[in-house]
Amino acid sequence: MTYPRRAVLLVTLLGTLVACANDRGAGPSTSTSTAPGGSLEQKAPPNGAVSKVVDGDTIHVKVGKATEKVRFIGVDTPETVDRRRPVGCYGREASDFTKSLLPQGTAVRLVLDVEARDRYKRLLAYVYRANDDMFVNAELVRAGYANTLTIPPNVAHADEFAKLAADARSQQRGLWRYCP
């Protein structure tokens, strides 16, 4: 079995497991499907509301009665909250940009890839703003507030993010202008 077929099977299994958990009222509501071309998204109603922006690439989302710490898949913004490290160049700007895109109470749709959680137990997701379906992960990279961070097997949008980052870099947008 080839890697792509294995990934499709894993995503399908994950989607089934999540759907079953949601039918029982447990876990985050997510929508996953495998469409031609490797896309994992499908149009779905919002499944949570932002309760807090932690930094440029991490938010808290109220899903039912639970609050999930959500890490955006495929992107990395400069650090602002790690006490062991100084605030990264353009970190405050990235955090403020995410806050402007996702103010508290904003309805969002969370879409999973192959792995649902990272080693810190954060939910890994592609985040879409529900009112206009804006793909927040991509917007951070496009506007120059984030670089790419590709961690297999969660790679559904890796090529798209790489192209957006290359364009932001060539246009000297955001951190590409101000950070060495």
Is residue 139 part of the annotated active site? The answer reads no
CB atoms within 10 A of CB 11: 20
Q: Round to whole Å and give the CA distance between 129 and 53.
A: 14
- Selecting among 68, 79, 93, 139, the annotated active-site residue is 79
Q: Round to whole Å and give the CA distance between 70 and 58.
A: 6
Is residue 79 part of the annotated active site? The answer reads yes
Q: Round to whole Å and give the CA distance between 101 and 130.
A: 11
Q: Round to whole Å and give the CA distance between 87 and 33.
A: 38
Is residue 122 part of the annotated active site? The answer reads yes
Residues linked to residue 134 through DSSP beta bridges, in sequence order = 129
- Selecting among 71, 109, 142, 173, the annotated active-site residue is 71
Tokens 């990395």 locate to: 76
Nearest Cα neighbor of 143 from 98, 79, 87, 80 is 98
- Selecting among 68, 93, 109, 122, the annotated active-site residue is 122
Residues annotated as catalytic are: 71, 79, 122
